[in-house]
Structure 1
Amino acid sequence: MAGWGGAALLFGATMLAASAAWAEVPYFADQIKAGTLPAMEQRLPEHPLKMDFAAEGKEIGKYGGDLVTIMGRSKDIRMAVVYGYTHLVGYDQNLELKPDILESLDVNDDGSVFTLHLRKGHKWSDGAPFTAEDFRFYWEDVVNNEQLFPVGPPRFLLVDGEPPKFEVLDKYTVRYSWSQPNPFFLPELAGTRPPFIYRPAHYLKQFHATYQDPQKLEEMVKERNLRNWAVLETDMDRPYKLENINLPTLQPWVIRTQEPSDRFIFERNPYFHRVDPDGNQLPYIDRMIFNIANAKLVPAKVGAGEVDIQSRILTLKDYTFLKQAEKQKAYHVRLWDVGYGNYATLYPNLTVSDPVWRKLLRDLRFRKALSLAINRTELNRVLFFGLATPRNNTILPKSPLFKKQYATENVGFDLKKANALLDKIGLDKRNDDGIRLMPDGRPLEIIVETTGENPEQDDILELVGDSWKKAGIKLYVKALQREVMRTRAYSGDTVMSIFTGIDNGLAVPSTVPSEFVPVNQDSLQWPKWGQYYDTGGEAGEKPDMPAAEELMKLYEKWRTGGPHQQKKAWEHILDINAENLFSIGLVGNVPQPVVVADGLKNVPEKGIHSWEPGGFFGIYHPDTFWWDR
C-alpha cells in the first residue's frame, strides 16, 4: 500500500495463535468448576493477540492480586479505559500502529478504503460474540439515527461531508470506503479516547425503538423518569464514561461498582483477547481498584504507601517528599518523560469579543513582548529544581518534525526588547502605578483564567506577573471550573487562559495537525475559529488573519495529500506557528513522577507519560503488569 509502509503486511503480521498449553486463570476456577464459565480455550478467540514481550522487554508473569491507584473524582473512572488501552488498532512503544482488537486491517493505496478483519470467536465480557453486527448496529442504528445523533456521524467518519460506504462483507469483516482519502480514520481509532465505532448490539437493542416492543420500551423510560427512548439508550450506552456497569466491554477489566462510591472495583474480563508468549490469558492482575480522594491529599496518601501505581495528580514538586518515604513504604519513584508540548502555556484568545483586546492580542509585537518579558529561567529554577526546559508550546525533539527554533524562538528573557516593542505599539503611556494604558485608556491588566486544578499554575502565574510588572503589565488570576473556563473562552469572554501545552508532542507526518490549526473549538488561542470549522460555518467566526487563513490551506493540503505532501504541510504549519507565537509556552520537559510499588513487574523504569498518543500507562499495557511478592 503506497505511503502506508506496507500497511496490509504490517497489519496482518499479528495473526498469531496462542500456545496449546493453556494455563487456566485461578480467579475463575470456581466458576469453571460450577459450569457458569467456560474453560479458557472456549473463552479466547481463535487467534488471540499474542503480546511480544521480547520487543517490550517484559517477562512472563503470574496471575493474581489487585492494582490500586487513586483518582481525584469519581468522574475519572473513565481512566480505566485510558489505562486499558484496548483499541481496534493502537500504537506500540515505537509509536507505530498495530492491530489490537482487529486481527488484521487492509488499506488501499490512497487510504480511502479500509477493510477490518475481526478475530473469529472474540467475545464481549458477557460471553456474547463480537461480530460485524456490532459495527452495523453502530453505523445504521446509532450514529445514523436522528434521535440519537441529530448532527449525524462524527467528523472523522466524514470526508468533505461525505459519509463512508459501510459494508458487512461477512460475519467477521467490515469495510469503510470513501471517494477520497480519509487520513483521520486510523489516528482516531488509535486515539486515547477511542471512538467505539462498534457497540454491543445484543445488549443495546433492548433499549432501541427499532428492536424493542414499544410498550415495554415506554415502561423502561417511565421507570427511569426519562424524556424518551433516545435518552434511555444514550444513558445505557456510555463505553467511555463507564456509567452503566451492565454494559458489556472488550476492555481488560470490567467495572463492577455503581456510582456513587469512593472505591471502584474493576474485575478481570474472562473473555479478554490478549495472551502472553506462553499462551496465558491476560490480564495477570485480577482486579484494578480506583480509590477516590481529594486531590490535595493524594501525595500524602501515595507517600503513606496506599497505592500500587500512581502518576495522576502527582507533580514534580512532590518528588522530594515521595523519595524520602521510598524505602520505608516499599515503593520506588521513577521520573518519566512527558509527551505534552509544554507543561504550562498561556493562550491569548485571538477571538476575544472585546475589540480593543482583540486588536492588541492579534498584534504579533504584543505577543512577542509578553513572551520576552517572562523570566523562564527563574521560573524553572524556583518551581522545577532546574529540571525543566524553557520552551515554546510545540513538538518535542523526539518528533521527526522537530526543529530547534520551534522550541527556542522568543523564549529568552529580554525586558529591554519587550518594553521597546510595547512602546512601538503605542502603549507608551502609564498610570501612577507604572501600568501601561491601553488605547482606550484602560490600564493594561490581563486576567489569566485557570481551571483551578493545578496549584503550580498559580505559582507560575505569580512569577510571570512579577516579570510582566517590570514591563508595565498587571496580571490577575481567575480560577474557574474547567467547563466554565472553556465556555467563557468559546463565547469570547476570556482574554487569556493558562493550560497544558499541546497533547501530542510526538507528532509524525501522518498525525492530524489539529492542535496547530484552527479546526477545534477546544483550542484556547482561537476557539471561535475552531467552532466555525467544527460546525461547518454555522457558528463561530471564519478565520480572518492571514496566518490563520494560510494554516487552513495547509491543513487541506495535509488532508488530501500523500505522505510527502503531508510532511511538507506539517513543516509549514509548524513554521507559521513558531513565527506567530499563537500560544506562549513557558516550560516543558517537566519530568512526571511515577510511583510503583515494590514487586510490581513489567512497569518500565523509563517511559513517556502522555495523553496522546499512549494513554499514560496504557501504551505499556497494564494487563501485562504482575506481582512478584
Structure 2
Amino acid sequence: MTRTFMTTTAMLLLATTAARAACPAMTMADDQGIAPGAFPQQYDLAEYEAAAGCEMAFSENPEIADLNGAIQGNPDLPPLAERLPEEPLVVVPYEAVGTYGGTFDALSNATEAGTSDFLSVRHVNLVRYSDDLATIVPNVAKSWEWNDDFTELTVTLRKGHKWSDGAPFTSEDVRFYFENLALDPNIIEKPKDYVLAGGEPIEVEIVDDQTFTLKLAAPKPGLLAHFATSYAQPFQPAHFLGLYHPALADDADAKAQELGYENGYALINAYYGASDWTDTPTPMLRDPAQAEGLPYGTQPTLESHIYITDTTEGRKLVANPYFFQVDTTGQQLPYISRQDELYKNDNEVRILALVNGEVDYKSQSLQLPSAPILLENQEKGGYTIQLKPTIALPSFSFNVTSPDETKRALFNDVAFREAMSLAINRDELNEIAFFGLGTPQTYLGFSPVPDFAAEFVDAGTGYDPDTAMVALDGLGMVDADGDGFRDLPNGEKITLNLQFTTQGIGGEVVELVAQYWSDVGVATTVKEVTPDEYRAAQSANELDVQIWQQGTPVAIALGSSERFVPPYGSYFDHRVGMGWAEWIDSEGASGIEPPQYAMDMIADIDAFQQAVPGSAEAAEIGKRIAKNFADSYLFIGTVNAPAPIYVRNGLKNVPEFQTWSYEYYRTYPYRPTQWFLAEDN
C-alpha cells in the first residue's frame, strides 16, 4: 500500500511538473500541436497556458534599462512582472521566435507628411483586424460585447496594464479621451464622426477600472471596425494631460504657465495636438529649449515604442518598457529596441535610399511607376518587393465650393464633370502608368467594390473625347481668343493647375490626365509639390482640382462617414466641398448650400451605418450611395492598380500583405511588434 501510494504521488508530481513546464516556442510556421485560440495568431495568457500545458516565465530585452533611461521623465524600472498586465496578450510569431535588439530604419516625407506608414508599425488600439482583413481581434482591449441593437458596446481592458511611464491604464483614460479631448471644443473644434452616433456624442459609462460601456444614441455596429483601423486612439493619459485640463483641475492654467504655456489648453495642444492625429510634433520639436523643463518630452503611450528625440530631420524612438504583449516563450515585445525615422521629401531621393537598402520597410508614397527600378535592384539592395492590390482609387475632384464664382458654377455642373471623365483614356492610362496591371474604375465611395455596387463600377469610364468636346461646347466653354484652349463661359481664361504629391498619386497619372484634358481643349499645368504644400493649399480652399487616392471598405464606412459627407475627407484626403461643410456646420448661417444629391448622401450614410451589416436593407442603402457617386461624378476615378511594398531581407517575421492600403492602417494587421532584425543584418 505504501509503495503504491508513493508511486501515485510521484506520478502526480511528474504530471504537475509537465503541466507547468516552460512554454514552447510556438510559431505560425510550427504550431507544435497546440490548438488555436479564440482568435487567430494570439491568445490571452491563461488561454495559452491551458492550450500548451505550460506556465509562462517572462523575460525582457537586456537593453531595457538603458532604453528606459533615454525616455525623458521616466522613473527607474520595477521588475518585469510589475510592468506587464496580469494577463498580457500572447502573440504567436509568424516564422520564428525573435531576438532582441537593433534599430528599425524608417523613411518618411517630412513631419506629419507620409508618416502614417511608420506610425502604424508601433500603433495600438482597442482592437485590430487580423491579417485576413476580415476578423477583428483583441489588442489593448481584452474583450468586448455588444447589446442586441448595437447601441451599447461594453469593453473589458487588461488588469494591470500600464502606460509607458508606469502609471495605471484604466477606463478613466477612455472617458478622458471622449469627454475632455474629442468632445471638448477647446481641443477639437468640431467632433469627429467616430465619436458621434446618430449625430449625438457617444457617452462613456465607467463600470470599473477595467470595464466601460460606450452608449450610443443610435445603432453603430461599425464602431468596432473604426477602432480596428483608425489612427485615432480612444484613450489618452488622464493622469498626465488631466493635470493641465482646466475642466478637471483648478490649478491647470497655473501649472501650465509655470512651464511656459499660456494656459492648460495650450500645453495639452503641445503634447496632444488639436486633432486626433497621433503623429503631431512633440514639444521636443515645437520648442526644444522649453521641452527640457517639461515633465515629459512626449506624452505617455501604450504603443510599442516612444519618442526620445524629435527634430526637423527625423525622430528616434525606443521600446516601451511597459508594453503589454509577449511572445509564446514569454519574451516581452517588441523585439526591436530602437526606431529611427528619417525625413526625405524628394521622391527620387527616397527611391535611391530604398534601392541602396538603407530602409527596413516602406509602403506609403511608393507608387507603381517606381516598381521597375525597385524590382530590378532587389538582389543587389538586399530587399524584397511585394506588389499588392490597393484599396483606394487614384481620383480627381473639382472644387465645387471654389471661391471663384464662375469656376464654382462650372465645377458644379455635372455635365462638365462627366465630360472631363469621358476625356480620360483609362485603357491607355493603365498601359502606360500601370503597366497594364490595373482595372479602369469609377469612384463609388466603397472600395473594394461590394456586390451591391458592382453594376456601377464601369459607369462613366469609357473614353469618348468627341462626346466630351460636344458637352464642353454646350456649356459655353469655347476658344474665344483663338489660342487653342477653351475659356470659361464668361470669356475668361482658365488653366487647371494640377498640383500633386507622390504621397497621394503617381506623377505619370497626373501628367497623362493633364494631357487628356488638354486634348479636349482645357488648358492644364502640372506641378509636383510636397505633401505639406498640397495640404496648405487644400486647407485654404485654393485648389481647383484635388488629386489623391480615395476609397473606403464597407466595414470602415460603417464606423466613419467622413468620406461620404462634405467636405468628403480629412486633412489627409480630398476636401472638395469645404463650403458645403461650412453651411451644414453653421446650419445655413454661412458657407454654400449643398445640392440635393449631397444632402441625400448624408441621410443615406447615416441610415447605412444604423442598418444591420450585410442585411438586404444595408445593401439597398449602399446601392443608392454608390449610384449617387456614379451619377454625380463628384470624384472622377481612374485605374485601380497594385502598388509596391518594400521589405529589407534582414527584417524577419514579415508576412505577405493582403493589400497596399492605408484603409486597414498599413502594417497594423501584420503584427510589427513581433518583427525582428536578423543578427547578421
Question: Are residue 580 (structure 1) and residue 632 (structure 2) matched?
Answer: yes
Distance in 2, matches of 1:399 and 1:137, equals: 37
Question: Are residue 526 (structure 1) and residue 577 (structure 2) matched?
Answer: yes
Match of 1:308 in 2: 360
Distance in 1, matches of 2:462 and 2:224, equals: 39
| 1:584 positional shift | 1.2
Match of 2:215 in 1: 177
Asked if 2 retains the 8 angstrom alpha-carbon contact of 1:395 and 1:507, the reply is no
Equivalences for 1:487-498 in 2 at 5 Å?
Answer: 493-498=542-547
Secondary structure (helix, strand or coil) at the match of 2:410 reads helix
Distance in 2, matches of 1:456 and 1:605, equals: 23
Question: Are residue 236 (structure 1) and residue 276 (structure 2) matched?
Answer: no
| CA deviation profile, 1:592-616 (whole Å, cap 9, x unmatched) | 2222222322212343121112x21
| CA deviation profile, 1:6-45 (whole Å, cap 9, x unmatched) | xxx989x964435433241233476799994344333221
Question: Are residue 274 (structure 1) and residue 314 (structure 2) matched?
Answer: no
Secondary structure (helix, strand or coil) at the match of 1:608 reads coil
Match of 2:461 in 1: 411
Match of 2:57 in 1: 22
Match of 1:339 in 2: 391
Equivalences for 1:545-584 in 2 at 5 Å?
Answer: 546-563=596-613, 564=615, 565-584=617-636
Match of 1:423 in 2: 473
| 1:582 positional shift | 1.4
Q: What is the RMSD of the two structures over their aligned residues, measured on CA atoms?
A: 3.4
Question: Are residue 156 (structure 1) and residue 194 (structure 2) matched?
Answer: yes
| 1:122 positional shift | 0.8
Match of 1:5 in 2: none
Question: Are residue 43 (structure 1) and residue 43 (structure 2) matched?
Answer: no
**TM-score normalized by structure 2?**
0.79
Could you tell me which of 226, 229, 233 is aligned with 1:188? 226
Compared with structure 1, are the counterparts of its residues 22 and 575 closer, same or farther at alpha carbon in structure 2 (3 Å cutoff)?
same
Asked if 2 retains the 8 angstrom alpha-carbon contact of 1:519 and 1:533, the reply is no
Asked if 2 retains the 8 angstrom alpha-carbon contact of 1:166 and 1:177, the reply is yes
Compared with structure 1, are the counterparts of its residues 389 and 204 closer, same or farther at alpha carbon in structure 2 (3 Å cutoff)?
same
Match of 1:6 in 2: none
Compared with structure 1, are the counterparts of its residues 329 and 354 closer, same or farther at alpha carbon in structure 2 (3 Å cutoff)?
closer
Match of 2:28 in 1: none
Compared with structure 1, are the counterparts of its residues 529 and 102 closer, same or farther at alpha carbon in structure 2 (3 Å cutoff)?
same
| CA deviation profile, 1:544-603 (whole Å, cap 9, x unmatched) | 2x32232233123224433323332112101121122211122221x3222222232221
Asked if 1 retains the 8 angstrom alpha-carbon contact of 2:141 and 2:157, the reply is yes
Secondary structure (helix, strand or coil) at the match of 1:500 reads strand
Equivalences for 1:570-609 in 2 at 5 Å?
Answer: 570-589=622-641, 591-609=642-660
| 1:625 positional shift | 0.9
| 1:124 positional shift | 0.9
Question: Are residue 287 (structure 1) and residue 287 (structure 2) matched?
Answer: no
Distance in 2, matches of 1:265 and 1:486, equals: 25
Match of 1:541 in 2: 592
Identical amino acids, percent of aligned pairs: 28
Question: Are residue 137 (structure 1) and residue 176 (structure 2) matched?
Answer: yes
Distance in 2, matches of 1:285 and 1:268, equals: 7
Which deviates more from structure 2 when the two are superposed, residues 70-79 or residues 94-103? 70-79
| CA deviation profile, 1:219-246 (whole Å, cap 9, x unmatched) | 642542x322221232233554261534
Asked if 2 retains the 8 angstrom alpha-carbon contact of 1:298 and 1:313, the reply is no
Compared with structure 1, are the counterparts of its residues 270 and 316 closer, same or farther at alpha carbon in structure 2 (3 Å cutoff)?
same
Match of 2:558 in 1: 510
| 1:481 positional shift | 6.0
Compared with structure 1, are the counterparts of its residues 272 and 441 closer, same or farther at alpha carbon in structure 2 (3 Å cutoff)?
same
| 1:498 positional shift | 1.9
Compared with structure 1, are the counterparts of its residues 113 and 14 closer, same or farther at alpha carbon in structure 2 (3 Å cutoff)?
farther
Distance in 2, matches of 1:621 and 1:533, equals: 40
| CA deviation profile, 1:108-133 (whole Å, cap 9, x unmatched) | 11111121211101111122211123
Equivalences for 1:72-91 in 2 at 5 Å?
Answer: 72-76=109-113, 80-91=118-129
Question: Are residue 622 (structure 1) and residue 672 (structure 2) matched?
Answer: yes
Question: Are residue 265 (structure 1) and residue 316 (structure 2) matched?
Answer: yes
Asked if 1 retains the 8 angstrom alpha-carbon contact of 2:64 and 2:321, the reply is no
| CA deviation profile, 1:241-273 (whole Å, cap 9, x unmatched) | 26153411100111111x325342221112212
Counterpart AA for 1:568: E
Distance in 2, matches of 1:404 and 1:514, equals: 22
Structure 2 unmatched runs, 5+? 1-37, 50-54, 70-74, 284-296
Counterpart AA for 1:166: V
| CA deviation profile, 1:71-108 (whole Å, cap 9, x unmatched) | 22133566544222310122222333222101111211
Distance in 2, matches of 1:70 and 1:207, equals: 34
Match of 2:165 in 1: 126
Equivalences for 1:356-505 in 2 at 5 Å?
Answer: 356-394=406-444, 398-401=448-451, 403-427=453-477, 430-443=480-493, 445-453=494-502, 458-477=507-526, 493-502=542-551, 504-505=552-553
Compared with structure 1, are the counterparts of its residues 279 and 116 closer, same or farther at alpha carbon in structure 2 (3 Å cutoff)?
same
Match of 1:221 in 2: 257
Which deviates more from structure 2 when the two are superposed, residues 265-274 or residues 456-465? 456-465
Counterpart AA for 2:594: P
Secondary structure (helix, strand or coil) at the match of 2:370 reads helix
Asked if 1 retains the 8 angstrom alpha-carbon contact of 2:505 and 2:547, the reply is no
